[in-house]
Amino acid sequence: MAPSTTTRQPCIVAMGGGGFSMEPENLLLDQFVLGLCEARRPKVCFLPTASGDNDGYIVRFYRAFAAMECSPRHLALFHRTREDLREVLLAQDVIYVGGGNTANMLAIWRIHGVDAILREAWEQGVVLCGLSAGSICWFEGGVTDSFGPGLAGLSDGLGLLAGSHCPHYDGERTRRPTYQGLIAKASLAPGIGADDGAALVYLGTELYEVVSSREHARAWRVGLEADGQVSEEPIVTRFLGATTGVQ
């Protein structure tokens, strides 16, 4: 059973990977997000900041969402054309954050005040979602390739959700060991790794469920034991199958 958002409670869907940009022929996660909204045609705003407002990425967003029952738009910050960002973002039913450079995205958001607006949108019940950079950003920290070809810890996320997060947990060979190593060294707080195709669904600040667009995609709680050993525990995951998973 999908969560009800009739009370406009805060909701975040953090995708380890997937959605229109990674699975253009499999839009189960994107359809699931739309199904969380009360509106018959949800207003969806794409934030492509992490990709530097890449034109091709924006086109792919419109191509995917124009085929669904929604009203899509995007908001560019590198070539800003809107004066009142708050007005735009608070009018949405869904704010969808794309992948790319997490650190750069957070810096740009803070310069333009988008970080504070996103918190306000979340508190008002706008569904926040995204993949990769658009997944890490909601947590206190995570694993990122923002600083070069290798992976590193990032500890200045928006902090709407406690702990850390690692997307692409099964999709990139070095993600899992890097995440566990950072937790072992206490460079990152314990948190959740999500495979490509898995999405963490939070209501308020609590994990409500994990859903997936791929049958074997999972999420994992990664912690630190008293003896300094890293623990990894799989989280029950609901495969969306041939439907949106919204009942």
Domain ranges of the chain: 11-239
Question: What is the per-residue pLDDT for 8?
Answer: 75
Strand partners, 211: 199, 238
Catalytic residues: 132, 168
- 26: closest CA among 35, 38, 17? 17
Question: What is the per-residue pLDDT for 168?
Answer: 97
Q: Which of helix, strand or coil describes residue 134?
A: helix
pTM: 0.93
Under-70 pLDDT residues of the chain = 1-7, 242-247
Question: What is the per-residue pLDDT for 244?
Answer: 43
Question: What is the per-residue pLDDT for 242?
Answer: 53
Question: What is the per-residue pLDDT for 140?
Answer: 98
- 75: closest CA among 65, 87, 62, 88? 88
Fold that domain 11-239 belongs to in CATH: Rossmann fold (3.40.50)
Question: What is the per-residue pLDDT for 173?
Answer: 92
